[in-house]
Amino acid sequence: MPDTSDSSRPTDSPSSQSPTRQRRRLPHRGRPEPLRPASRLLRIAGPGLITGASDDDPSGIGTYSQVGAAFGTGFLWMALYILPLVICVQEMCGRIGLVTGRGIAGCVRRYSNRQVLLGAVLLLFIANTINVGADLGAMAASVQLLAPAVPFGVILIVFAVGILLLEIFVPYRYYARILKVLTLSLLAYLVTGILIHPDWFSLLRETLVPSIQLTPEFLALAVAVLGTTISPYLFFWQAAEEVEEEHEREEQKEHLAAIGQPAPVKPGGHQGHLRRAMRALRLDTALGMTAASATFWFIVMVTGLTLHAHGIRNIATAAQAADALRPLAGDLAGLIFALGIVGTGLLAIPVLAGSAAYGIAEAFGWREGLSERVDHARGFYAVIAAATLIGLGLNFLGINPIAALVYTAVINGIVAVPLLVLLLLIANNRAIMGDFTNRWLSNVVGILTTVVMAAAAVALVISLLPH
């Protein structure tokens, strides 16, 4: 049975809130080591970069490839204009986690509507599990392009079990580094874009000047891009990982003190620490979301200038896009595209399963966190295992992954709207956030994002109704 104690609740006074959750002193999954020069580069990158990179999972790559195949480079402008929206939302999520020492579900459970939360985390689990299944299928199909003799089912099982074992048994300090290294897989799409030698000035013009078509297909794909880019699982993941990172820093200080090397005392006390952490959070989030939008741009550009230009207007999966690119852009471009799908899948599946686990565990008050040992957070790890293994099973049931992803987009669109409202309420509550409430620009962009997502959800539901 999961541990239902809620020992991590902070007091309601912002001044007494710790940037980390107050945990019981249980054996840890691995004490952090002193900062070494070789690991500094990885430590600069944080939850924001991982979150941004995981946004471009194989199912998202499939969506972007279909956008490029159907409309050429006509969607490039969305990569630019959606960027401030995702930066604002993810910065707000990270800030909430950093200040309160809780994830999104924990904050909503304590300070807001628990009924809305329970419905949201249930839908989050369903949507993420479908996404896990689609991503596993895309990764296996991509490997089959490179090694056709290996059975599809064997590849699926190896990926699912391998990812699950890593997430459960590798200590957090090492696991976080693995995720950070995997963000380099996004470079595959930049390299592919360079290999096809595009007209960069023409692409710049199409990026700056929006091109909108009021057709059902265009609007449906625009909604799909929004649902893929501004997704609830990213809200839960970044907030929870900001808490995990802060907890790791506290553990590192304790470890240094235990071996007689106390960490240097920085000026400003707790408030000064939060302000420094907030600056790092904003930079990290901006880098992560910019990487995600740049990847979207390059995938649309590559598929638009190759597939669309050669009359290929329908792409069902990311692996199909990689296969179609090979005769048009060269074997090397197709190979790099396929390897990028595998790399982003290895990054995104743990984020999908982990964000569902954080949401459910916090909603029910279970002990949670990738830094916890399995026997101390059984419920949390059980959710990770369930999401991964059910997702694996979906690939053997003959379920159409593309149809499933359409319904996932609907679920994400529905869940995102009330969650964004709750995030805005929490982020503007001075009793919770103290001096770190939203500024006017965050509120303007946050409200705009909520309105856009609500309109997108309505439009998508209407498009699915029988005519």
- 88-102, 280-294, 316-330: the lowest-pLDDT one: 316-330
Print the SS3 string covering 3-54: CCCCCCCCCCCHHHCCCCCCCCCCCCCCCCCCCCHHHHHHHHCCHHHHHHHH
Boundaries of every domain in the chain? 30-389
Q: What is the pLDDT of residues 22-45, one digit of tens each?
A: 444 444 454 444 444 444 444 555
Q: What does the buried/exposed string (b/e) look like for 338-351 if buried means 16 or more CB atoms within 10 Å of the residue's CB?
A: bbbbbbbbbbbbbb
308 pLDDT above the threshold of 60: yes
Q: How far is C-alpha 428 from the geometric centre of its chain's CA atoms?
A: 24
Other Cβ atoms within 10 Å of 271 Cβ, number: 13
Which is nearest to 10 in space by CA: 93, 89, 103? 103
Q: What is the pLDDT of residues 368-392, one digit of tens each?
A: 887 788 888 889 999 999 999 999 9
259 pLDDT above the threshold of 70: no
pTM attached to this predicted model: 0.78
* Structure-token match 């240094």, residue found: 256
Three-state SS at 460: helix
Which of the four CATH numbers 3.40.50.150, 1.20.1250.20, 1.10.4160.10, 3.30.300.180 does domain 30-389 have? 1.10.4160.10
Angle at 214 between CA 210 and CA 220, to 5 degrees: 95
- 27-36, 121-130, 162-171, 225-234: the lowest-pLDDT one: 27-36
**What does the DSSP assignment read for 162-214?**
HHHHHHHHS-HHHHHHHHHHHGGGGHHHHHHHHHT---HHHHHHHHHS-----
Confidence of residue 68 (pLDDT cuts 50, 70, 90): confident
Query: Tokens for 407?
Result: 């319904």
